[in-house]
């Protein structure tokens, strides 16, 4: 058997109620009706959390009393609704009132216009660029940094030595991942050959890079 956790349905339910309260309250005409609606909201809106997955286990033995009366299984839903209706002293909604309420929530709905395809394409490009820079960074056989007021960094590769000087402003850059200093480097191979980038001085322990 494998135990799998889920986000608290109780917390989700409370957030749903908060959204409903905010929507309905905003639609009220004046201050008095808004205050009255908020005051009686909890009396008129009851939570009922239904566990649809038969494999979900709810420990009634150690659960608080308010949760025992709120969390049920899917096969208990019809009987629970009938019981709550029979015990309630409040007048029931008419079909017209229920339809008006449903239309209100439909009109308040705001469709999500996020372009997830574009988002994932941008993420893929970012990952590929990072991988290319890391591969170029690994191609350097020997990297030595000599720090001074005007930091001078020497690169020794199998082809040539490149000296790069940075000012005091550049030497103050730190790695957001490990806190070490960032060093201005230049890619020697690959598609980005000749381009400068910031690399963590703790390489290879930390592989953080940023395009300069």
Label residues 104-143 b or e (16+ Cβ within 10 Å = b): eeeeeeeeeeeeeeeeeeeeeeeeeeeebbbebbeebeeb
Q: Please indicate, yes or no, whether residues 87 and 147 belong to a single structural domain of this protein.
A: no
- Structural domain harbouring 97: 9-108
Domain end call among 108, 135, 167: 108
Tell me the two tokens of residue 140. Answer: 């350097």
pTM (2 decimals)? Answer: 0.46
The answer to whether residue 143 is domain-embedded is: yes
Backbone angles phi, psi at 158, to 5 degrees: -75, -10
The answer to whether residue 3 is domain-embedded is: no
Each of the 212 residues of the chain gets a pLDDT tens digit; together they read 566 666 778 888 989 999 999 998 988 888 999 999 999 898 888 889 998 888 887 787 888 887 888 888 899 999 999 998 888 888 888 999 999 999 998 988 877 777 777 777 777 887 777 777 666 665 554 444 434 444 444 444 444 444 444 444 455 788 888 888 888 887 776 667 778 888 888 887 788 888 77
Q: Please indicate, yes or no, whether residues 186 and 95 belong to a single structural domain of this protein.
A: no
Q: What is the count of structural domains for the chain?
A: 2
Detail the DSSP E strand segments found in the chain. Answer: 49-51, 71-73, 142-146, 152-156, 161-165, 182-186, 196-200, 209-211
Q: Please indicate, yes or no, whether residues 96 and 124 belong to a single structural domain of this protein.
A: no
């Amino acid at each position: 058997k494998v135990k799998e956790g889920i986000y608290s349905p109780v917390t989700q339910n409370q957030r749903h109620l908060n959204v409903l309260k905010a929507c309905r309250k905003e639609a009220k005409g004046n201050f008095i009706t808004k205050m009255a609606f908020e005051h009686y909201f909890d009396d008129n809106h009851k939570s009922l959390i239904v566990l649809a997955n038969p494999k979900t286990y709810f420990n009634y033995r150690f659960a608080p009393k308010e949760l025992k009366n709120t969390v049920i299984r899917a096969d208990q839903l019809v009987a629970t609704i009938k019981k709550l209706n029979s015990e309630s002293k409040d007048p029931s909604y008419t079909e017209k009132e229920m339809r008006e309420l449903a239309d209100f929530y439909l009109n308040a709905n705001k469709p999500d216009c996020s372009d997830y395809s574009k988002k994932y394409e941008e993420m893929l490009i970012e990952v590929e660029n990072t991988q290319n820079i890391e591969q170029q960074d690994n191609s350097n056989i020997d990297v030595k940094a000599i720090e001074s007021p005007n930091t001078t960094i020497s690169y020794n590769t199998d082809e040539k030595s490149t000296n790069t000087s940075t000012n005091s402003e550049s030497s103050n850059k730190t790695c957001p991942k490990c806190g070490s200093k960032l060093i201005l480097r230049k890619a020697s191979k690959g598609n980005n050959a000749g381009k400068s980038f910031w690399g963590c001085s703790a390489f290879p322990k930390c592989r953080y890079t940023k395009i300069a």
